[in-house]
Amino acid sequence: MRFSLFPHKSASATSPTEGSFVQTGRGSRTVVFLHGLFGSTAHWTGTMEHLANDYRSIAIQLPLDQKGDRRNQGVQTIGELTEVVDRSIAAAKVDSPFVLVGNSLGGLLSIDYALKFPDRVCGLVLAGSAGLQERSLTDGNKPKATREFVRSVIGGIFYDQALVTDDLVEDWFETMSDRNYTRFILRISRATRDRNVQQELDQIKTPTLIVWGRNDQITPPEVGLNFQSSILGSKIVFLESCGHVPNVEQPDQFNQQLSEFLPQCFS
């Protein structure tokens, strides 16, 4: 299966006030998945299928795709994205409480949502989460519309460089050639780094599983340990030979950890 970081340009329409979603499974126990800045609902497909016999899974597409005039009309803040999540959950008719699973930016949104609506969330799973400290993909350099630069950026996301395919580089190169969209992504990236949750993590009382790539260069292992020490009763698991997107790079290990964790959230 071809892997892509960016949502496809023809993805379902989204806006700052609504988000599209996909779902699998059925039942009263629901798990909601939130992707990262360069992600899409497709990043959760394998995990959702893995859970389908026991849980209803909802993956929300955040309004971050290359569609319309994102630079001027797209979301401005993390709070706006959390509102999108809330509206999408309502549209999906999700009964509370539910578990939130988030990677990177999706992890930060999961935390932000749990802080705003603690009674609705019965569990958190954070994978390479933003919210404390993260390295810029471009190391502070101005993004360059060259394939070599794009390849170096993607290479920082994965441990397994075989995932950095020519097709993926070409997808990114084409997308980053859209200057207005690139400026939008940089704006969201800055908003993500500005939303630091360090002083609020002690408010989280729900069961929390932290799944981290041992080789994560974007949010290094010490960031995961900081989350674990700041969230009372949380558990951290490191996945070997794994970078910033554990659910994509080590899906079997990630799914196993999730399956073992979820029952206690709904007990």
pLDDT digits (tens, 9 = 90+) for 123-142: 999 999 999 988 766 555 56
Has residue 14 been placed in a domain? no
We report the CATH number of the domain holding residue 44 as 3.40.50.1820
Q: 30 in a domain, yes or no?
A: yes
The verdict on residue 70 lying in a domain is yes
* Amino acid at residue number 8: H
pLDDT for the residue numbered 13: 35
11 versus 231: which is more confidently predicted? 231
- Looking at residue 89, its pLDDT comes to 97
Q: Is the pLDDT of residue 53 over 80?
A: yes
Which residue type does 44 have?
A: W
pTM over 0.95: no
Note whether residue 151 is domain-resident: yes
In-domain check, residue 119: yes
Look up the domain containing 231 and give its range: 20-266
With 80 as the cut, is the pLDDT of residue 4 above it?
no
| Domain contains 233 | yes
Please write the tens of the pLDDT for every residue from 178-200.
Answer: 888 888 888 999 999 999 999 99
CB of 181 closer than 8 Å to CB of 66:
yes
Tally of domains in the chain: 1
- Closest among 43, 33, 47 to 11, alpha carbons compared: 43
Instruction: Please tell me the predicted confidence (pLDDT) of residue 17.
Output: 39
Output 147-154 pairs: Cβ under 8 A, ≥24 positions apart.
147/173, 150/176, 154/5
Average model confidence (pLDDT) across the chain: 89
Task: Report which of 4, 54, 55, 62 is spatially closest to residue 191, judged by C-alpha positions.
Answer: 62
Residue 1 lies in a domain: no
| Residue 8 is assigned to a structural domain of this protein | no
Which pair of tokens denotes residue 150?
A: 């794009």
The confidence band for 38, taking pLDDT boundaries of 50, 70 and 90, is confident
Per-residue tokens: 224: 């995961």
Average pLDDT over residues 142-161: 86
pLDDT score of 193: 92
Q: Region 15-40: what's the mean pLDDT? A: 84
